[in-house]
Structure 1
Amino acid sequence: MQVSVENTSALERRMTIAVPAERVESEVNKRLQQTARRAKVAGFRPGKVPMSVIRQRYEDAARQEAFGDLVQASFYEAVVEQKLNPAGAPAVEPKSFEKGGDLEFVAIFEVFPEFTVAGFESIAVERLSAEVTDADLDNMLEVLRKQNVRFEVADRAAQNEDQLNIDFVGKVDGEAFAGGSAQGTQLVLGSGRMIPGFEEGLVGAKAGEERVLNLTFPEDYQNLDLAGKTAEFTVTVNSVSEPKLPELTEEFFAQFGIKETGIDGFRAEVRKNMERELRQAIKTKVKNQVMDGLVAANPIEVPKALLENEVNRLRVQAVQQFGGNIKPEQLPAELFEEQAKRRVVLGLIVAEVVKQNDLQPDEARVREMIQEMASAYQEPEQVVAWYYKNDQQLNEVRSVVLEEQVVDTVLQKATVTDKSVSYEEAIKPVQAPAAD
């Protein structure tokens, strides 16, 4: 077999492969012999059909089948021989496949970029530290109470945070518009659910009262037909209900799967969950800074095949997340290209750090991570056992641990600054930079 390789770009390779005629004919004959054993031809017993008849009837199909198998096999042999690492399936261009002659074809494909990860010393990381104080715990209990708020009918004028049951009709230029009317809808004042001025215009209203609100849709309103237009809303208030926060009772604790522990036991459980969230938030922020630093210090070219595959994965995830009657391929690739490129680049860099440092998942850390996740459940031992019985889930945890070990490897050489902050600041998500 003859192989020649041409570098057509930094990552693209154009490989010409010639398979000797003897090997081609051997593969064709092998398939014809297999066909002869099972072929049914009128006038002949099975297995007794003359090879001349078999060849006349089936040689073209056998030759096409041999072509496909030989292309696949010889391509694999060639990339191994040339020590190439394809990043995707090749595009194949047949050059010659005449009976009795060599099989010659061209395979065009991309290879994985070859690089050495460097620049650990240039990465700056701010590592936060915080603790859950009693005040933080008290605030969290109030959040939990508000998440479980109940509304009771009140015989008074509406205030912010009250829930109103309303009917309304919206008109633009005297004409009702689609989506501008509703009956019996529940609206919490101050929730920001309606356009500016709507909820504010109902403060002070009482049950049975009708109010007319003259409002203007925002210029950036999602419905472009209404953006910037003035509308008149006639609103009838059916009822006014005031919020009632639940008391910290055993019944309330039971909603969170915590029974017969009293207020002290509930506070201890909530604190434990907050501390787990805090550890994860700090770890995530450090990891993100390390990954950002690795990408900045190691610019690499991305194989198109890997980028396309990642774009398609993100398309599928978007459809699964948001639903709707849309196929993944209908979503524009440009929506996902930037995120897909970052993911691919990070995947290549992390894999190279693992390779350069001969890292293996630390099984003690794997078990510790599983136990940490399991502690959020009522039967943690069962959760741990479940992970160790499911290879796919266990390997996913091992991958996360391996990424953490990559982060630890970088931190040994990076510039790390420790900073004490409040619990709220530590768990606050990092805001993405504003677009220009």
Structure 2
Amino acid sequence: MQGNLEVLEGLARRLDISVPVDQLETEVQSRLKRLARSVKMHGFRPGKAPLSAVARQHGAGVRQEVLGETLKTRFGEAVQTHQLKIAGYPRFEPKADQSAAAEMTFSASFEVYPEVKIEALDSGTLNRPVVELGDADVAKTLEVLQKQRRTFAAAERAAAEGDLVRFDYQGTVDGAPFEGGRGEDFAAVVGEGRLLKDFEQALIGLRAGDSKGFDLTFPADYAARELAEKTAHFEVQVKEVQAPVLPPIDAEFAKALGVEDGDVEKLKVEVKSNLEREVKRRVQAKLKEQAMELLLQKSTLDLPRSLVEMEMERLRRMTEADMQSRGVQSMKLSADMFTGQAERRVRLGLILAEIVQANKLAAQPEQVRRLIQDQAQSYEEPDQVVQWYYQSPERMQEIESLALEENVVAWAADQATVVDVATSFDELMGRA
């Protein structure tokens, strides 16, 4: 017999779960008999060990296994009886000394999903960027592609921004050398940010054979903490200045970018098509960001602590795995570092789930297919990418989640006021 549901503080609940001892022992004995037919034990042939010996060695483990399965089953029955929506996992604890009782009684502590209240969104505003792509945007993108394929040639002039400068350098702090403060035949492109800005500026105007001394103060967030905010003196000797040489936008250039017949006009059409896809993606991302903020502002709910803790742990594991994949020295992170991020993600997840269910916004197969095809267009073999997605339930689940978010954003845009804002391509890309 299952106990009454006990409502604790907030979303916490407790149920009493009873397990008849005779039923438990019957199942334990049944499993031990099955185990005895095949188990290997020292001193006995396989399957020939007496039941008493099997029970002595494996009885505790089998009993724990049966108890766990039984508790899970009876908890599920109780949840259905009380029509509960469980958040996270229950915690089972024995209620008292039950060695002589006909029933073992456990308390199951858990949380339930909260009620999500969402106010009307009609007072909210979403700003939708509107971008008119022109020939200038295509030309600017082609310039970027040219720079990515540039070469360098020796220049008999002073170094300017964009030049490749090869030089030796020696640095000191308070007259003493420091680790990393000396280099020979070091090469860097002025203006690309590989060097500190003040160091790059010091190279401008120098020719091959020139030397120069200058002071530089390291920023407060400098990677080498022992140098942060300290002033160093550098001496540089320039060995060579090379000017960038951009490839012409011609048939060879077009072929290198995947246009088989080398037609430059086809290349421009393809570049514009890629820009249009990127604009669409960025506009949707801007709308999504605003829609999520609006939903957070307009929603009220209690957060299940169990879900937040699970999300904190998931984020911790993901971050550690990402650091390892980047070659960063392995370190143990604290899940508490991700509390704020986890709370936001759980809150948004619960809000989105409520909106999807209440408004029947489930992802449709044709919508999922379109999203996959959109993703695949960025690759040389789109059909293979589409197939790659459909071969993995995990990847398909990611796309379906994107579809649900897309549906919620569209729903929020219908409820709120959407204002079209004329935006340049550079502004949309964050380069203005």
> Could you say if the C-alpha distance between residues 90 and 44 of structure 1 is closer, same or farther in structure 2, counting changes exceeding 3 Å?
same
Q: Share of identical aligned residues, percent?
A: 37
Q: Residue 425 of structure 2 aligns with which residue? A: 423
Say which is worse superposed, 215-224 or 384-393, in terms of deviation: 384-393
Mark the runs of 5 or more structure 2 residues left unpaired by the alignment: none
Partner Cα separation in structure 2 for residue 37 and residue 363 of structure 1: 49
Paired residue total: 428
Code of the aligned partner of 1:411: A
**Match for 2:358 among 353, 356, 359?**
356
Query: Mapping of 1:17-416 within 5 angstroms?
Result: 17-35=17-35, 37=37, 49=50, 60=60, 62-95=62-95, 96-99=97-100, 101-322=102-323, 323-327=326-330, 330-416=332-418
Residue 108 of structure 1 aligns to a residue in which SS?
strand
Q: Is the 8 A contact 1:27 1:66 kept in 2?
A: yes
Partner Cα separation in structure 1 for residue 211 and residue 267 of structure 2: 45
> Could you say if the C-alpha distance between residues 324 and 56 of structure 1 is closer, same or farther in structure 2, counting changes exceeding 3 Å?
closer
Partner Cα separation in structure 1 for residue 288 and residue 86 of structure 2: 30
Q: 1:301-358: per-residue Cα shift (whole Å, max 9, x none)?
A: 2222222222233233333444345557x22334322222222111111111111112
Partner Cα separation in structure 1 for residue 380 and residue 24 of structure 2: 64
Deviation at 1:211, TM superposition (A): 1.9
> Could you say if the C-alpha distance between residues 82 and 327 of structure 1 is closer, same or farther in structure 2, counting changes exceeding 3 Å?
farther
Q: Is the 8 A contact 1:195 1:218 kept in 2?
A: no
Q: Is the 8 A contact 2:172 2:181 kept in 1?
A: yes
Code of the aligned partner of 1:372: D
Q: Is the 8 A contact 2:166 2:239 kept in 1?
A: yes
> Could you say if the C-alpha distance between residues 102 and 237 of structure 1 is closer, same or farther in structure 2, counting changes exceeding 3 Å?
same
Q: Residue 13 of structure 2 aligns with which residue? A: 13
RMSD: 3.0
Q: Is the 8 A contact 1:122 1:297 kept in 2?
A: no
> Could you say if the C-alpha distance between residues 252 and 314 of structure 1 is closer, same or farther in structure 2, counting changes exceeding 3 Å?
farther
> Could you say if the C-alpha distance between residues 238 and 37 of structure 1 is closer, same or farther in structure 2, counting changes exceeding 3 Å?
same
Partner Cα separation in structure 2 for residue 422 and residue 15 of structure 1: 59
Q: 1:357-389: per-residue Cα shift (whole Å, max 9, x none)?
A: 122223333333333333333443444444445
Partner Cα separation in structure 2 for residue 147 and residue 305 of structure 1: 48
> Could you say if the C-alpha distance between residues 7 and 212 of structure 1 is closer, same or farther in structure 2, counting changes exceeding 3 Å?
same
Residue 377 of structure 1 aligns to a residue in which SS?
coil
Partner Cα separation in structure 1 for residue 416 and residue 277 of structure 2: 26
> Could you say if the C-alpha distance between residues 265 and 58 of structure 1 is closer, same or farther in structure 2, counting changes exceeding 3 Å?
closer
Deviation at 1:420, TM superposition (A): 2.6
Deviation at 1:152, TM superposition (A): 1.0
> Could you say if the C-alpha distance between residues 420 and 65 of structure 1 is closer, same or farther in structure 2, counting changes exceeding 3 Å?
closer
> Could you say if the C-alpha distance between residues 208 and 359 of structure 1 is closer, same or farther in structure 2, counting changes exceeding 3 Å?
same
Deviation at 1:68, TM superposition (A): 2.7
Q: Is the 8 A contact 2:118 2:300 kept in 1?
A: no
Partner Cα separation in structure 2 for residue 221 and residue 343 of structure 1: 32
Deviation at 1:254, TM superposition (A): 2.7
> Could you say if the C-alpha distance between residues 319 and 43 of structure 1 is closer, same or farther in structure 2, counting changes exceeding 3 Å?
closer
Q: Residue 433 of structure 1 aligns with which residue? A: none
Q: Is the 8 A contact 2:199 2:216 kept in 1?
A: yes
Deviation at 1:265, TM superposition (A): 1.0
Code of the aligned partner of 1:85: K
Residue 215 of structure 2 aligns to a residue in which SS?
strand
Deviation at 1:145, TM superposition (A): 1.6
Deviation at 1:55, TM superposition (A): 6.5
